[in-house]
Structure 1
Amino acid sequence: MDRGAKTDLGAVRIHKNVIASIAAIAALEIEGVKNIALVKTIDVGVLLGLKKPKGISVEFGKHDEMRLGIPLVVKYGYNIPEIAESVQDAVRMAMEKMIDRTPKDIDISIQAIEKG
């Protein structure tokens, strides 16, 4: 969970799932992005159906810096580096607007290409 901010009335904490959802919505608004890929790691919990495969990763470093990993499925025929940069920009702007945080890193990994 994000360490959040303190106000006069108490603490505001934003769960990693909320941050991942913001990133997913921002990424999916970019033309050429087909979907958010599920990263299927070898995890006993995933294999047994106890856990869902991971998509967007949200991590916080020692000094509370936010790092995002976004696996994408891109539509065939689009310029991949341009899409990746557009997603990074859109996600950064969404984070700044919605949670007043700027991610230190937004790593994009293209997991697949699909037609239209």
Structure 2
Amino acid sequence: MNVENNKQPSGSLKISQDVLATISNFAAEEIDGVVSLADTYAPIKNFLKKGSIGKPIQISLNDDVAVIDISVNLKYGANIPAVAETLQKAVKDAVQNMTGITVSKVNVHVAGIVFPETAPVQQ
């Protein structure tokens, strides 16, 4: 008796944009020079609405291809182009490897620079 093992999916898989944002967040936190994620302002059409501050990671998903916008605060003295490039690669690789979703772009928005805290002067 010859029985074929058909490996057909028994359902569907949907990954929420929040999961993609979480993966992106963890990837960003690992990059030297990134201090934190930064809140962004929502588009002007929503400016007057309550809660016009946007999330630091925005995901656009179209036909299983993602575009990720991430806003960050960088450490003073960091090489901004180098940190941005490293961040783009890390986020893209993490999302693609964990989800199988193609990431076409990772847009990095540098929202601020964080200066080191100076020690209080003792008198």
Percent identity of equivalent pairs: 30
Mapped partners of 2:35, 2:102: distance in 1: 25
Structure 2 stretches lacking a partner, 5+ long:
1-7, 117-123
> After the TM superposition, which residues 77-88 of structure 1 pair with which residues of structure 2 at under 5 Å, given as runs?
77-88=77-88
Q: What is the TM-score when the length of structure 1 is the normalising length?
A: 0.82
The aligned counterpart of 1:57 is: 58
Q: What is the TM-score when the length of structure 2 is the normalising length?
A: 0.78
The answer on 1:30 being equivalent to 2:31 is yes
In the TM superposition, residue 40 of structure 1 has moved relative to its aligned partner by 2.6
Q: How many residues align?
A: 105
Write the deviation string for residues 21-64 of structure 1: whole angstroms up to 9, x where unpaired. 100110110000001111133251306xxxx6321000023x44
Q: Sort the Cα spacing of 1:31 and 1:100 in 2 relative to 1 into closer, same or farther, 3 A.
A: same
Residue type at the aligned position of 1:105 = K
> After the TM superposition, which residues 1-116 of structure 1 pair with which residues of structure 2 at under 5 Å, given as runs?
8-41=9-42, 42-46=47-51, 53-61=54-62, 63-116=63-116
Mapped partners of 1:76, 1:105: distance in 2: 26
Larger Cα-atom Rg:
2
Structure 1 stretches lacking a partner, 5+ long:
1-6
The aligned counterpart of 2:5 is: none
> In angstroms, what is the RMSD of aligned CA positions?
1.6
In the TM superposition, residue 101 of structure 1 has moved relative to its aligned partner by 1.9
